[in-house]
Amino acid sequence: MAVRGKFITFEGIDGAGKSSHVEWLADWLRQRGLVVQVTREPGGTPLGEKLRALLLSEPMHLETETLLMFAARREHLAQVIEPALERGEWVVCDRFTDATYAYQGGGRGLHRSKLQVLEQWVHDHRQPDLTLLFDLPFEIARQRIAHATRELDRFEQERAEFHERVRHAYLDRAAANPTRIQVIDADQTMDEIRKLLENIVSTHCL
Ligand code: TMP
């Protein structure tokens, strides 16, 4: 049986710049001979991508939003993440359950106890091996979002206070999980961030 692969997730508020590093990290790992799947949440499967389109555009009740995030995640784990890890491949995923705690919990105020029930149901407290949290004051992230040429989604359109609450919820989770969640100061050059990512991933996963 293959040695189980590693599961690495990227997190951060909208505009923190994490997504530009996801493919780069996957390539860096591939250069080390690893087979790497790159995926994202919400999304990552045909059904999950349909749920993503709804989640990013359609107004809905907070609990509906949370349940759909976890429904997409259940499918993603079953179809993509778990099979890849079982085959010994690595999975690099743009967002996972920490995002639900940060956005639906911190940002929108859903009680943690409900999130814990869904988390246990969907992945039984199995956690990523490493989470890279891109941290940035929302004022800087807002300027990055403002430069986007596409239409902003339902989350990006939220007010500054929402994003501040999301950021603090992420930092609280990092403080509670200091080994798994590594905080990266995202207000640095691409090269500086890549050096940091190399060091963190080498130390924690290789
Ligand atoms: P993305 O822009 O990073 O692809 O993520 C899409 C949006 O979905 C982002 O604003 C954060 C939000 N989101 C949640 O609110 N809860 C979740 O559980 C996940 C995975 C994403």
CA angle 112, 114, 118 (to 5 degrees): 115
For ligand 1, the distance from its centroid to the CA atom of residue 99, given in whole angstroms, is 6
For ligand 1, the distance from its centroid to the CA atom of residue 64, given in whole angstroms, is 15
- How far is it, in rounded angstroms, from Cα 171 to Cα 177? 10
Nearest atom (ligand 1) to Cα of 107: 15
pLDDT level of residue 147 (50, 70, 90 thresholds): confident
Q: What pLDDT digit, counting tens, does each position of 42-83 carry?
A: 999 999 999 999 999 999 999 999 999 999 999 999 999 999
Assess whether the C-beta atom of 10 lies below 6 angstroms from ligand 1: no
177's CB contacts (< 8 A; 6+ apart) are: 127, 131
For ligand 1, the distance from its centroid to the CA atom of residue 2, given in whole angstroms, is 32
- How far is it, in rounded angstroms, from Cα 71 to Cα 65? 10
For ligand 1, the distance from its centroid to the CA atom of residue 42, given in whole angstroms, is 6
Q: Provide the pLDDT for residue 129.
A: 98
Chain-centre distance of CA 195, in angstroms?
20
Percent pLDDT > 90 in the chain is 94
- How far is it, in rounded angstroms, from Cα 59 to Cα 15? 21
Q: What is the mean pLDDT of residues 95-121?
A: 98
Assess whether the C-beta atom of 100 lies below 6 angstroms from ligand 1: yes
Q: What is the mean pLDDT of residues 33-50?
A: 98
Q: What pLDDT digit, counting tens, does each position of 163-200 carry?
A: 999 999 999 999 999 999 999 999 999 999 999 999 99
Assess whether the C-beta atom of 182 lies below 6 angstroms from ligand 1: no
Q: What is the mean pLDDT of residues 108-125?
A: 96
Whole-number average pLDDT of the chain: 97
pLDDT level of residue 1 (50, 70, 90 thresholds): confident
Q: Provide the pLDDT for residue 70.
A: 98
- How far is it, in rounded angstroms, from Cα 154 to Cα 56? 5
Q: Provide the pLDDT for residue 183.
A: 98
Q: Provide the pLDDT for residue 57.
A: 98
Q: Provide the pLDDT for residue 149.
A: 85
Q: Provide the pLDDT for residue 125.
A: 77
Q: Provide the pLDDT for residue 190.
A: 96
CB 18 within 8 A of CB 132: yes
- How far is it, in rounded angstroms, from Cα 93 to Cα 21? 11
